[in-house]
Amino acid sequence: MKEYSHGKTALAQINEKKYDTSMKNNGVSKIIKIGMAFSGKDVAIESEVE
């Protein structure tokens, strides 16, 4: 599989748009963020735990 940076881009978008804000406001203390990007049958995945 080719190396793609789009998984990191997807994860950066999650952080930039602050999609986790409502979860944090509702008391969720452990959040797993997963950024995925697809190109045909290839997939790039990046994740982080907060």
- Please compute the mean of the pLDDT values over residues 16-20 and round it to a whole number: 95
End-to-end CA, the chain: 28
> Structure pTM?
0.78
> What kind and span of H or E run contains 9?
helix 6-16
In the predicted model, what is the mean pLDDT of the chain?
A: 90
Mean pLDDT value across residues 17-28: 95
Cβ–Cβ < 8 Å for 35, 7: yes
Number of Cα atoms under 13 Å in the Cβ half of residue 41: 1
Q: What percent of the chain has pLDDT over 90?
A: 78
Q: How far, in whole angstroms, is CA 48 from its chain's centroid?
A: 7
pLDDT score, position 1 = 46
pLDDT above 80 for 35: yes
Q: Give the mean model confidence (pLDDT) for residues 33-47.
A: 92
